[in-house]
Amino acid sequence: MRLQTLAEGRWIFAILIVLMLASFWLTPWLSLIFLILILYTLAFFRDPDREVPADPGSVVAAADGAIADIVEVEEGDVLKTKTRRVGIFLSIFDVHTNRAPIAGRVIYREHREGLCVDARRADCSEKNESMTWAFANSRATIVVRQLTGAIARRIVGWSQVGDELKKGDRFGMIRFGSRTEVYLPLTATVLVKVGDHVSGGSTIIARLPEQ
């Protein structure tokens, strides 16, 4: 357990513990429900270390979850060109820490207000609250977008513009079910398919062309 990640759930833990103690005096079995919720919350905020591929040409998943779609779209915030978007849907059972897909400098970070529609919907990328990031090195600039969902209501950013991150470094998280999108250059070779389950910071989702 990382303290930085656990700290994001401090108020949730506090409320559940108070409710568990209060319910024990009313109906002891009810306190078991809150104990189960506390254990689930601990599991949700787990943040395991990952083995990060050393290959500089590889792009790793920015989040844990299932590949929801792979489509060609215009990325209009940073790159302002056609890209290949790999959408990753995070269920409430996935690790919710987000990780840098490549080594490089954070050159963009922008929060956008929006809705919290189901992150499995095709239009959530345009409608939902989001945080957009861009990571740049000599080979490429990769955009990552964190999106809220019907349950997720808080996007957390730990890195700032100008920070130098290694591939797989944690830069933020989304609480309770969500979507993370990785925008790749069209020259990149995508190595995953819809339905695949990926691990953030570890699973190679694409390979950049040779320099």
CATH number of the domain where residue 128 is located: 2.70.70
180 and 116 in one domain? yes
24 plus 118 within the same structural domain = no
State how many domains the chain has: 2
> pLDDT band at 152, cuts 50/70/90?
low
On the 0-12 / 13-18 / 19+ scale of CB atoms within 10 A, 172 is buried
Q: Is residue 53 part of a domain?
A: no
Provide the percentage of residues in the chain whose pLDDT is more than 90.
72
d(CA 119, CA 150): 7
| 159, 178, 199, 202: the active-site residue | 178
52 belongs to a structural domain: no
Same domain, yes or no: 134 and 72 = yes
Same domain, 134 and 193: yes
Q: 148 and 117: one domain?
A: yes
84 in any annotated domain: yes
Residues 64/168, Cβ–Cβ less than 8 Å: no
Mean pLDDT of 191-206: 98
Average pLDDT over residues 50-77: 96
| Model confidence pLDDT, tens digit, residues 64-83 | 999 999 999 999 999 999 99
| Residue 51, domain member (yes or no) | no
**Is pLDDT at 166 greater than 60 in this prediction?**
yes
80, 162: one domain: yes
Nearest in space to 190 (alpha carbons), one of 210, 206, 208: 206
Domain-embedded: residue 82: yes
pLDDT band for position 116 (50/70/90)? confident
Domain interval for residue 31: 3-44
Q: Are residues 154 and 200 in the same domain?
A: yes
Q: Annotated catalytic, 58?
A: no
Are 98 and 173 within one domain?
yes
Whether 77 and 110 have beta carbons less than 8 Å apart is answered as yes
Contact 126, 98 (CB under 8 A): no
Statement to judge: residues 101 and 184 lie in one domain: yes
At 51 the pLDDT is 96
Check whether residue 28 and residue 107 sit in a common domain. no
Same domain flag for 26 and 129: no
Q: What is the mean pLDDT of residues 132-151?
A: 92
Q: Please, what is the angle between helix 28-44 and helix 10-26, to 10°? A: 170
- Residue 49: inside a domain: no
In a domain, 198, yes or no: yes
115, part of any domain: yes
